Chain A
Amino acid sequence: MKHVGAIASRELNSLFVSPVAYAVMTLFAVLAGFFFLSGVLQFQDYVIRLQSFQAMEQLEELNLNDHVIAPFLHVMSVVLMFLVPGITMGLFASEKTNGTLELLLTSPITIWELVIGKFLAAAAFVAILVLLLALFPAILFTYGDPEIGKTAAGLLGLLLVGLVYAAIGAFASSVTRNQVIAFVLSFVLLLVLWMLGFLADLGAAGGAATGEWIGDVLRWLSSADHFESMVMGLVDTKDLAYFGVMAIAFLVLAKTAIESVRWR
């Protein structure tokens, strides 16, 4: 595993040399600012209205965690669904078009080192995005009094979701030499993964009693439910295991795809 660092840092460097990284970070910051601001304004508006109605009970229930931070994190997890593929699309596809995959595969490194190095570079970038995002809830702490544990759990959830996205994006990039195809493929995979939970709900609503266990499987596979419980402040090993399993599964697939270059 001694080559992982070299591969990861080269990848990260080349991300920051290209305009892609800056474009993604800018877009991310702008969207985050927009959604955060609109969330806060809505919250303020809501508070004023409840006060004018003297609705004390509802006012009691209102809090920054559930009504500002949680929706904010949710919408940002959707934003990550199309920004992370932008970062990961070139991971392997660009090595193929550069001809540098031939250098890597004829060097004394293992394919695992290559895949993990690439993943870590993308993971570091996702971590930077999440850190950037943490600034927004931090603003709330100076003006209000949200729960720190719940906020941290939500941010951790977003990071983990982002890492799974990165693993899926790495896989998409490993099966093609075209970056656009890699982008579209990973976006589609992420969308499907996210919607699986809704699909299960739809099936249940339609009264598909026979498909009970299928619904459970779909719900487990869906990233949305696991993320949801972390945003609610629950750090459950079950959810942590989900993120771990998904990331590892797609990295194994990526490794297999790279290996298959040799066997074709």
Chain B
Amino acid sequence: MIEASGLSKRYGDLIAVDDVSFSVQPGEVVGFLGPNGAGKTTTMRILTGFLPPTDGRAVIDGHDIFSDPLAARRAIGYLPESPPVYPEMSVEDYLVYVAKLKDVPRRQRRAAVDRALERCGLADVRRRVIGALSKGYRQRVGLAQAIVHDPPVMILDEPTVGLDPIQIREIRTLIRDLAGTREGKARTVILSTHILPEVEAICQRVIIMHRGRKALDAPLEELQRGGASLEEIFARTTAREVVAPPDVAGEARP
């Protein structure tokens, strides 16, 4: 479903992502784990077509992000680190607008928006202005925006950052639900986080990024069988080379 090979992103001398390859099977839920500045956001931005890679290629649902960008983007639902919402719009109007942008055919738009509202628990606030919603609800709107066109792939960048514990639990449950339900088909999900229990709660597979490189890629089950906790594995993987800490500018917004 997602095929990344040799992805690299350099900003001058700074290497944000360095020769990262992985492939994700349909229906898999993969957690991107890593300290801040490890290159998680940059990798996701490359996959969504927001940033072009310096090197390497990626194929989403059979469409190359470079040679067939529009089809590749159609196959992705993307939630950036902060939900990309217009504060002055109502939840419903916003989702209708996103559905238009994502090429949902006119006749199915109404139903697609209703379904997204329903699934993300937004039916009660559909006419509320987004700017007046709480952070947790705004995050739900961000998720609704990512699934409104029912994409086979969902890419979520730190979906629970800045939420309180109850909201975090709600959003996690929601992500698990969204991963499982897609009109009979499975949905592929990549989500980034630096919260370890989150990976254990949602994902089947872990990719640990460290200094722009892929440091570890294994099914969660396998890791847990080894007896060590994810935290230990994470600490071990990210501490392997003790040099100067990576420049956090790797995750800076352009």
Chain A residues with a Cβ under 8 A of chain B? 3, 6-7, 10, 13-14, 17-18, 98-110, 261-264
Roughly how many angstroms separate A175 CA and B145 CA in the complex, as a whole number? Answer: 27
Determine whether the beta carbon of A100 is less than 8 Å from that of B85: yes
Q: State whether A14 and B86 are in contact (beta carbons under 8 Å apart), knowing that A106-B73, A108-B70, A262-B50 are contacts in the complex.
A: yes
Determine whether the beta carbon of A100 is less than 8 Å from that of B74: no
Determine whether the beta carbon of B101 is less than 8 Å from that of A103: yes
Query: Which one of B76-84, B188-196, B203-211 is at the A interface?
Result: B76-84
**7 A-B pairs closest in CB distance:** A103-B84, A6-B100, A107-B101, A108-B70, A106-B48, A100-B84, A108-B74
Determine whether the beta carbon of B50 is less than 8 Å from that of A102: yes
Determine whether the beta carbon of B101 is less than 8 Å from that of A99: no
Roughly how many angstroms separate A110 CA and B70 CA in the complex, as a whole number? Answer: 8
Using CB atoms, name the residue of chain B closest to A106. B48
Q: Does B121 contact A (CB under 8 A)?
A: no
> Chain B nearest CB: distance from A32 CB in Å?
28
Determine whether the beta carbon of A105 is less than 8 Å from that of B71: no
Q: Does B52 contact A (CB under 8 A)?
A: yes
Q: State whether A17 and B52 are in contact (beta carbons under 8 Å apart), knowing that A10-B97, A107-B73, A108-B70 are contacts in the complex.
A: no
Kindly count the residue-residue contacts between A and B in the assembled complex, taking CB atoms under 8 Å apart. Answer: 68
Roughly how many angstroms separate A7 CA and B82 CA in the complex, as a whole number? Answer: 21
Roughly how many angstroms separate A135 CA and B74 CA in the complex, as a whole number? Answer: 47
Majority SS at the chain A contact face: helix
Roughly how many angstroms separate A142 CA and B198 CA in the complex, as a whole number? Answer: 74
Using CB atoms, name the residue of chain A closest to B51. A262
Q: State whether A108 and B83 are in contact (beta carbons under 8 Å apart), knowing that A10-B97, A14-B89, A17-B88 are contacts in the complex.
A: no
> Chain A nearest CB: distance from B45 CB in Å?
8
Using CB atoms, name the residue of chain B closest to A104. B101
From B82, B83, B102, A107 is in contact (CB under 8 Å) with B102
Collect the chain A residues with CB atoms within 8 Å of residue B76's CB.
106
> Chain A nearest CB: distance from B242 CB in Å?
32
Q: Does B87 contact A (CB under 8 A)?
A: yes
Collect the chain B residues with CB atoms within 8 Å of residue A263's CB.
52
Roughly how many angstroms separate A110 CA and B69 CA in the complex, as a whole number? Answer: 10
Majority SS at the chain B contact face: loop
Using CB atoms, name the residue of chain B closest to A15. B88
> Chain A nearest CB: distance from B60 CB in Å?
11
Collect the chain A residues with CB atoms within 8 Å of residue B71's CB.
108
Roughly how many angstroms separate A192 CA and B176 CA in the complex, as a whole number? Answer: 57
> Chain A nearest CB: distance from B94 CB in Å?
9
Collect the chain A residues with CB atoms within 8 Å of residue B70's CB.
108-110
103-145 of chain B: CB within 8 A of chain A: 103, 145
Collect the chain A residues with CB atoms within 8 Å of residue B245's CB.
none
Q: Does B33 contact A (CB under 8 A)?
A: no
From B52, B88, B103, A18 is in contact (CB under 8 Å) with B88
Q: State whether A99 and B82 are in contact (beta carbons under 8 Å apart), knowing that A109-B101, A263-B52 are contacts in the complex.
A: yes
Collect the chain B residues with CB atoms within 8 Å of residue A106's CB.
48-50, 73, 76, 78
Roughly how many angstroms separate A229 CA and B52 CA in the complex, as a whole number? Answer: 47
Collect the chain A residues with CB atoms within 8 Å of residue B83's CB.
99
Q: State whether A103 and B98 are in contact (beta carbons under 8 Å apart), knowing that A98-B87, A263-B52, A264-B254 are contacts in the complex.
A: yes
Roughly how many angstroms separate A261 CA and B103 CA in the complex, as a whole number? Answer: 23
Roughly how many angstroms separate A7 CA and B71 CA in the complex, as a whole number? Answer: 20
Determine whether the beta carbon of A105 is less than 8 Å from that of B50: yes
From B73, B84, B254, A108 is in contact (CB under 8 Å) with B73
> Chain B nearest CB: distance from A89 CB in Å?
16
Determine whether the beta carbon of A103 is less than 8 Å from that of B145: yes
> Chain B nearest CB: distance from A16 CB in Å?
10
61-79 of chain B: CB within 8 A of chain A: 69-71, 73-74, 76, 78
Using CB atoms, name the residue of chain A closest to B103. A108
Collect the chain A residues with CB atoms within 8 Å of residue B84's CB.
98-103
Roughly how many angstroms separate A17 CA and B11 CA in the complex, as a whole number? Answer: 39
